[in-house]
Structures are given as C-alpha cells and as structure tokens.
A and B are shown apart, each in its own frame.
Chain A
Amino acid sequence: MHLILFFIFAALCLAGAVNLLLQTHPINSALSLIVVMTSLAVLYLLLGAEFLAAAQVIVYAGAVMVLFTFVIMLLNAGREERTLGSRAARVVGFPAVAAFLALLATVLLKAHGLGRAAMQEGVTSTDDLSAVLFTKLLLPFEVTSVLILIAILGAVALTRHGDGERSASK
C-alpha cells in the first residue's frame, strides 16, 4: 500500500517538476509547482513526518505559492520567449548537471537501507518534534522569528525604495 502510494506521488512529483520546466507561461509553472509541493507533502506523510506534511501544505502550497501567483498577476507576466540560452550554458551546463546528478545518486544510493526505510512504520509525532524544538533548540527558533521579521521589513523597504527611486529620477 505504502509502496503504491509512494510510486504514484513520486511520479506526480516528477511530472509536475518536468511540467514546470516545459511550460512557457509563469502561471502554469506556478500551478505545477503547487502539484509538486502537495505530492511532496504526501511523501512526507508516508515517511511519518505528519507535522512537516501539514506545514508543507500550509507554508509552501499555501503561503509561498499565493505570494508567487500574486506577483505573477501583479506584474502581468506574459509568455516568455524561447531563447535557448547561451552556448556556454548548453556546452558546460548540461554535462555539469548530469555529472552532479550522478554524484548525488551514487551518494544517496550508497546510504545503506534507504530502500526499506520508506516501508516501515514509525510516525514522528508533533509532540516529539516540539519537545526537542522548544527545549534544546529554543534559541534558533527565536532567531528565526527575528529573521522573518527582518525579511518582512526588508520586503516592504525594497518595494518602497524602488518606487521612490523612480519618482526621484523623473
């Protein structure tokens, strides 16, 4: 049962990722990225990470993708023109990507027992997760909240700054 679900959602995930690359319109890419993230959430659930599955759906498929679609709509992003990159990107880039894929694959496949890891039960409950998060790792957690605050302020400052520059140059 787990194996079937894994293969279905892994295939869905890969199809979404390939579709993301093949689509020319950004909104289609964004929608296929949502497919990728949702199927990744199911994979997390299969791996016993129930909290992370929920967080994946809420944070990524919800918040981040809403942000993406909002920006795409806001900027009225049209169809991109097909310029197949520079020669250097094609000559050097694709062999480099292939070599990197081979390297990662060997490292991941050499890690012993990964194949049966997905099969066994063993749910990491939210209790366990929060017990470690709020005792041992409290300081990083708080630092992250400050980081998010800075990011919000930075985003607001960046967009406002761009506006001010344009009106100053006129």
Chain B
Amino acid sequence: MLSAILFSLGVIGFLIKRNLITVFMSIELMLNAVNLSFVTFAHQWHAVKGQIFVFFVMMVAAAEAAVGLAIIIAVFRARATLAVDRIDLMKL
C-alpha cells in the first residue's frame, strides 16, 4: 500500500513538475516504490529471488541515473534551460 502511494506520488511528480531534474527524481521515486513492493513480497513468500531482482533494479537505476543526468547536461548545454515547457523542439 505504501509502495502504491509512493508510486502514485512519483507519477504525479512526473506529470506536474516543470524542472527536468525534478522529473528525473520522480522517476527514481517510482523505481524505489517498485523496489519496496518487491522486498515486501519476497519477505512474505520467503523467496530470495525477489531481493536479487531488487539488486538488479538498483544497478540498472544507477546506470540509468548516470546516462539520464548526462542527457540532462547535454540538453542544458544545447538549450540553456531546464524547464520542460521550453524544450519543445518536437512539438507540433
């Protein structure tokens, strides 16, 4: 339940935030929420695999954070802004 609330807060943040970095942080929040539910179910069913899956999710999240922040830096260099409203090159 806590995990669901956290995930929804992450989705809300993804929708309403107007700063690229904060949107990215919301994605991290969603990943953490999923991790929490993985750990909870692994604990309930005494399965080790769930925790290992969380381990892999953490690794992928670390890699994703590195690449995402590099993209953010590249975007900032190209557009000199972090507001998602102004990065609208692909809008009609």
Q: Given A101-B8, A144-B60 in contact, is the A26-B19 Cβ separation under 8 Å?
A: yes
Contacts of B51 in A (CB 8 A): 49, 51-52, 124, 129
Question: With the chains together, A147 CA to B48 CA distance in Å?
Answer: 23
* Smallest CB gap from B49: residue in A: A132
User: In the bound complex, do residue B22 and residue A26 qualify as a contact, i.e. CB atoms below 8 Å apart?
Assistant: yes
Give the Cβ gap from A115 to chain B, nearest Cβ, in Å. 10
List residues of chain A with CB under 8 Å of any chain B CB. 10, 13-14, 17-18, 20-21, 26, 29-30, 33, 36-37, 40, 43-44, 47-49, 51-52, 55-56, 59-60, 63-64, 67-68, 71-72, 74-75, 77, 80-85, 89, 93-94, 97, 100-101, 104-105, 108-109, 111, 113-114, 117-118, 122, 124, 128-129, 132-133, 137, 140, 144, 147-148, 150-152, 154-156, 158-159, 161-163, 165-166
Contact (A100, B67) CB under 8 Å given A36-B29, A52-B54, A64-B62: no
Q: Which residues of B contact A101 (CB under 8 A)?
A: 4-5, 8
Give A51 to B59 CA distance when docked, in angstroms. Answer: 14
- The answer to whether residues A155 and B4 also contact, given A37-B32, A114-B44, A124-B51 and a CB cut-off of 8 A, is no
Which of A68, A80, A100, A114 is close to B69, meaning CB atoms less than 8 Å apart?
A: A68
Query: Given contacts A63-B62, A80-B19, A166-B77, are A133 and B52 in contact (CB under 8 A)?
Result: yes
CB-based contact B49/A162 at 8 Å: no
Contacts of A43 in B (CB 8 A): 2, 36, 39
- The minimal Cβ–Cβ distance linking A119 to chain B, given in whole angstroms, is 11
Q: Are B40 and A162 in contact (CB under 8 A)?
A: no
Q: Please tell me if the beta carbons of A158 and B9 are within 8 angstroms of each other in the complex.
A: no
Chain A residues with CB below 8 A from B9, complex form:
14, 17-18, 20-21
B66 and A80 contact, CB distance less than 8 A: no
Contact assessment for B58 and A55 in the assembled complex, using a CB-CB cutoff below 8 Å: yes
Residues from chain B with a CB closer than 8 A to the CB of A59 are 58-59, 61-62
CA distance A166 to B74 in the complex (A): 10
> CA separation between A166 and B78, bound complex, in Å?
7
Whether A74 and B73, one on each chain, are in contact in the complex, defined by CB atoms closer than 8 angstroms, is yes
Contact A47 B40 (CB under 8 A): yes
